[in-house]
Chain A
């Protein structure tokens, strides 16, 4: 089971944090800091796996990937295959992000993730479901995300004028 997915930048700012087991906000922040302190001291040419037991408790492994200014981190237990999770991070995730965000992932990823915060969550939910990998085909994930975007746009179009107008008045 995947315990957590985190994205943070190289300054340690959290850009996405999704925990699949309940943790208090304080605990979540502590873990994010703990992970960052390990990551930022890693050399370039070492493996992508970290023994995460000191941070997350027994039976936890951590796979990370460093893209441009971001660290992508997956924390999971022994029921997941480390190499497969690595594939998920380095093959599936980037291609999905690149295509759905319509930009070159390698260059502008951080800002994209910051401002498309809820979209990123939607993508993640289509890929990892309650701690389990649900879909690994980037085209399938994208199809689902596009459908959801269309639905949102459609309902927004209907309610656009009255809502913004009433919203304007009430402010």
Chain B
């Protein structure tokens, strides 16, 4: 009985389920049905078996468990009637999967049905096999499927071809068996067989390189001819889609040609003519035609280079972008994204069209177009493209603003030709969509502003203007507040006026008004208010005339319910009232924030091996990147990571104690020019173990705010060595120190460079005093970069002879030191001769990231029992790893 026409029960069940008003009702109906079906299964009811399974399939579609029906499928498949088998196979495909053991049981039935005399039963078996075949089944049944590739009926041949495809996907080893039959399928005239044959060949090429070679040699010409035939063939209604002859076969052929042409110049040559023909003659006003063009473009892009064809292909994509159909624009953009890797120049020509797509009404097209524009931008076109994008920002949808601002910011940062342009663009973006940008963006802007010393005045005035216009965009307000705090005097006095600027008159009290607005505005967040409070505090010394008013505003916040603001205002007002003497130093302008450190931090990676930076911005609760100047960071390359301030300072103290060298931060009032030099100074100090007591007693506001990280007076820590300091700075030129720094380097790149150039390091005066000079000569064996040989030469500069001269050295744990015996233990006086001694230092952690502090020092002890006493010479910095 047919379960779908005369048997009413299936229909009744579907009606009953459709009539359900609630999910609970539906569950009840399904539960009842399932119970009835289970009962029927238990009774082994044969007559309704296929109808029950049909019901189960429907129930399965609704998402209910139907596993109990699996064995019924097998029984139906094993039965003789066609309707039973049909439902059985349908159920098999829906309810079972290849992972289930039940499949083992079905293999035999499948084998029988593949050899059945009724071709429709063979068709059913093939279909099931093609859908659910496991690797074991594929092995077992492959010979039967292979035989069916030559079956007389084309419908079976095409199914067998796709079934073979499944088989070789499951068991790639079987690919070899299918190569010959597959290539004969390519000569078929029947459309269905041909299209599936092409698919089978495509998959064979993917799984087996042998097959790929075979088809390249034997089939390319045939395929090209087939493609030419269908491209030129007149109208054939059978396989027509909207007037285009058989687009599906076109596409399959183009796909196969793509695989054959990829990486093979000869094969690519064979197909260029037909590709050019398809690309230029296919009608593009129908979806089907565009589908062919799209596939053709992809093939042209993938096969070996043919400049002319690629330009043609990219022009087709350009045409896609101006198509009225959304779908065509969508795929066009997708493909251009791939094409940009192949030929960026050709894609550039369609920039204007792509830019139009950013303004598309379809959000997914917008998004893709924006991605593409982002990829297209380079130094030469950044200005017009950014202008377009910013203009569009004004009219774009709210949801899209986040994406678009992120892209603009990243572009502006990456390709900015000049700082003033960068600042201008960022101000535009912030004033348009400041609420959509991430914190990093405005942090970066502040750093750039801080570095552009000639633009401080210009920037603060521009920011003041936009601030006056609107306080809607919070991140803009923050930047403005920061700048007014730092450069308020420039705002009022019109310092550094540029020609392009319009003059603006701002009084001191106007500027204070602005900050007060920021503090009192309800809409703005805590961070902004805290920043405004700091700005006011800074202004208190910039604008003496307003200091009383500023004090009032600060005092008002003492009662703030927000702890952060309250604490800040109490601290500030305390400073204003009681500590006038330090105030001016506290509110100094921040030293220039270092861009490299910031970008390195942002990227989460280390900057170049020896960073020249000397400032570590650390984020304190108020959200401002405060610089904590630490020249030691320079020396030890500590600045690169997100090293918190505490270890740095302790490291500093440690070294201070150890080496007795001034390591206090270079945040001197004049600040700016000093910092780059400081690193070298310290190095010099270290190497010569002397001091240039350039004690920076002043401490900037930053230091106090950043928990006074290093304000010790280092002089007190100097050990007795200071007396030895006949400083000879010339002995340790920056060049030699740099060489030394790299010597035991932890970074592989530098090692390689040295290895290529051969080991040549400048010799180094490692220690020099009025009595003794120690020179190190370095060498390294090629192929053994871990080990450094140091030849130490000691010269006695004093008038006395040193007896029992002893050189000792200590190194961190990860280094191994081997000391050879010295050439002598007596060191003649007055430079009349010397002692040499060889040291072998092996870096066991070569190339690894090291604990930076340890990595950088070794200590040396020199002693001699001159006059019977051991004399302790001191410790020194020898190597940097």
- Residues in chain A within 8 A of chain B (CB atoms): 14-18, 20, 22, 25-26, 28-29, 32, 43, 45-51, 79, 81-84, 86-88, 90-92, 114-119, 121-122, 125, 129-137, 139-140, 144, 147-148, 151-153, 155-156, 159-160, 163-164, 166-167, 170
Is B811 on the interface with A (CB-CB < 8 A)?
Answer: no
Q: Is the CB–CB distance between B82 and A81 below 8 Å?
A: no
Proximity string of chain B (156-189) to chain A, C-beta cutoff 8 Å, 1 when within and 0 when not:
0011001101100000000000000000000000
Q: Is the CB–CB distance between A155 and B82 below 8 Å?
A: yes
Sample of 16 further A-B pairs with CB below 8 A, known A14-B61, A48-B327:
A26-B63, A28-B63, A50-B364, A82-B294, A114-B18, A115-B4, A117-B4, A125-B127, A132-B130, A134-B195, A137-B191, A147-B120, A151-B118, A155-B81, A164-B1, A164-B6
Bound complex: CA A167 to CA B50 (Å): 12
Residues of A with C-beta under 8 A to B329: 47
Residues of A with C-beta under 8 A to B86: 118, 122, 148, 152
Is B807 on the interface with A (CB-CB < 8 A)?
Answer: no
Proximity string of chain B (100-125) to chain A, C-beta cutoff 8 Å, 1 when within and 0 when not:
00000000000000000010100100
Bound complex: CA A90 to CA B11 (Å): 29
Residues of B with C-beta under 8 A to A18: 94
- A25: contacting residue among B64, B98, B159, B326, CB under 8 A: B64
Q: Is the CB–CB distance between A82 and B331 below 8 Å?
A: yes
Q: Is the CB–CB distance between B288 and A87 below 8 Å?
A: yes
- B238: contacting residue among A28, A48, A137, A160, CB under 8 A: A137
Q: Is the CB–CB distance between B328 and A83 below 8 Å?
A: yes
Q: Is the CB–CB distance between B130 and A129 below 8 Å?
A: yes
Proximity string of chain B (351-376) to chain A, C-beta cutoff 8 Å, 1 when within and 0 when not:
00000000001111100000000000
CB-defined A-B contacts under 8 Å, sample of 12: A46-B361, A86-B327, A115-B4, A118-B3, A119-B4, A130-B130, A131-B131, A134-B196, A135-B158, A137-B239, A151-B120, A166-B47
Q: Is the CB–CB distance between A118 and B294 below 8 Å?
A: no
- B1: contacting residue among A15, A88, A144, A159, CB under 8 A: A159
- Residues in chain B within 8 A of chain A (CB atoms): 1-4, 6, 11, 14, 18, 43, 45, 47-48, 54, 57-58, 60-66, 81-83, 86-87, 90, 93-94, 97-99, 118, 120, 123, 127, 130-132, 155, 158-159, 162-163, 165-166, 191-192, 195-196, 199, 238-239, 241-242, 246-248, 251, 255, 287-288, 290-291, 294-295, 326-331, 361-365
- A144: contacting residue among B155, B165, B191, B331, CB under 8 A: B155
Q: Is the CB–CB distance between A130 and B248 below 8 Å?
A: no
- B62: contacting residue among A14, A50, A116, A135, CB under 8 A: A14
Bound complex: CA A148 to CA B127 (Å): 14
Bound complex: CA A91 to CA B99 (Å): 36
Identity of the chain B residue whose Cβ is nearest the Cβ of A48 in the assembled complex: B327
Q: A17-B61, A47-B330, A137-B191 are in contact. Are A129 and B159 (CB under 8 A)?
A: yes
Identity of the chain A residue whose Cβ is nearest the Cβ of B249 in the assembled complex: A136
- B241: contacting residue among A79, A82, A92, CB under 8 A: A92
* Interface hub of B11, B58, B131 (most chain A Cβ within 10 A): B131
Q: A83-B291, A115-B11 are in contact. Are A49 and B239 (CB under 8 A)?
A: no
Bound complex: CA A144 to CA B163 (Å): 18
Q: How far is the CB of B24 from chain A (nearest CB, A)?
A: 16
Residues of A with C-beta under 8 A to B248: 84, 87-88, 133, 136
Q: Is the CB–CB distance between A117 and B57 below 8 Å?
A: yes
Residues of A with C-beta under 8 A to B93: 125
Q: How far is the CB of A24 from chain B (nearest CB, A)?
A: 9
Q: How far is the CB of B149 from chain A (nearest CB, A)?
A: 14
Bound complex: CA A136 to CA B291 (Å): 14
Q: Is the CB–CB distance between B291 and A87 below 8 Å?
A: yes
Q: How far is the CB of B604 from chain A (nearest CB, A)?
A: 25
Q: A118-B54, A125-B127, A160-B1 are in contact. Are A140 and B238 (CB under 8 A)?
A: yes
Interface of B is mostly: helix
Residues of A with C-beta under 8 A to B65: 25
Bound complex: CA A14 to CA B61 (Å): 7
Q: Is the CB–CB distance between B163 and A130 below 8 Å?
A: yes
Q: How far is the CB of A1 from chain B (nearest CB, A)?
A: 9
Bound complex: CA A116 to CA B3 (Å): 10
Q: Is the CB–CB distance between A137 and B192 below 8 Å?
A: yes
Q: A130-B166, A134-B158 are in contact. Are A167 and B48 (CB under 8 A)?
A: yes
Q: How far is the CB of B274 from chain A (nearest CB, A)?
A: 18
Residues of A with C-beta under 8 A to B131: 20, 129-131
Residues of B with C-beta under 8 A to A130: 127, 130-131, 162-163, 165-166
Residues of A with C-beta under 8 A to B87: 118
Bound complex: CA A164 to CA B246 (Å): 46
Q: Is the CB–CB distance between A114 and B14 below 8 Å?
A: yes
Q: Is the CB–CB distance between A47 and B365 below 8 Å?
A: yes
Q: Is the CB–CB distance between A139 and B238 below 8 Å?
A: yes
Q: Is the CB–CB distance between B294 and A47 below 8 Å?
A: no
Residues of B with C-beta under 8 A to A155: 81-83
- B291: contacting residue among A84, A134, A159, A160, CB under 8 A: A84
Residues of B with C-beta under 8 A to A140: 191-192, 238
Q: Is the CB–CB distance between B331 and A29 below 8 Å?
A: no
Bound complex: CA A168 to CA B2 (Å): 15
Bound complex: CA A73 to CA B98 (Å): 24
Residues of B with C-beta under 8 A to A119: 4
Identity of the chain A residue whose Cβ is nearest the Cβ of B129 in the assembled complex: A130
Q: Is the CB–CB distance between B330 and A81 below 8 Å?
A: no
Q: Is the CB–CB distance between A91 and B326 below 8 Å?
A: no
Bound complex: CA A43 to CA B127 (Å): 37
Q: Is the CB–CB distance between A156 and B158 below 8 Å?
A: no
- A167: contacting residue among B47, B62, B288, CB under 8 A: B47
Q: How far is the CB of A51 from chain B (nearest CB, A)?
A: 7
Residues of B with C-beta under 8 A to A115: 4, 11, 14
Q: Is the CB–CB distance between A91 and B47 below 8 Å?
A: no
Bound complex: CA A75 to CA B65 (Å): 24
Bound complex: CA A134 to CA B61 (Å): 24
Q: A49-B364, A87-B291 are in contact. Are A135 and B242 (CB under 8 A)?
A: no
Q: Is the CB–CB distance between A91 and B242 below 8 Å?
A: yes
Bound complex: CA A139 to CA B57 (Å): 27
Bound complex: CA A103 to CA B120 (Å): 26
Bound complex: CA A104 to CA B63 (Å): 29
Bound complex: CA A27 to CA B199 (Å): 29
- B127: contacting residue among A129, A133, A159, CB under 8 A: A129
Residues of B with C-beta under 8 A to A129: 127, 130-131, 159, 162-163
Q: How far is the CB of A75 from chain B (nearest CB, A)?
A: 16
Bound complex: CA A135 to CA B158 (Å): 9
Which 8 pairs show the lowest CB-CB distances between chains A and B?
A83-B291, A130-B130, A47-B326, A22-B97, A29-B63, A167-B47, A46-B362, A47-B330
Bound complex: CA A25 to CA B66 (Å): 9
Q: How far is the CB of B245 from chain A (nearest CB, A)?
A: 12
Q: A29-B63, A83-B331 are in contact. Are A47 and B362 (CB under 8 A)?
A: yes
Bound complex: CA A49 to CA B330 (Å): 8
- A163: contacting residue among B1, B127, B288, CB under 8 A: B1
Residues of A with C-beta under 8 A to B242: 87, 91
Residues of A with C-beta under 8 A to B90: 118, 121-122, 125
Q: Is the CB–CB distance between B196 and A132 below 8 Å?
A: yes
Q: A46-B363, A118-B57 are in contact. Are A14 and B2 (CB under 8 A)?
A: no
Q: Is the CB–CB distance between B83 and A156 below 8 Å?
A: yes
Identity of the chain A residue whose Cβ is nearest the Cβ of B62 in the assembled complex: A14
* Interface hub of B166, B241, B255 (most chain A Cβ within 10 A): B241
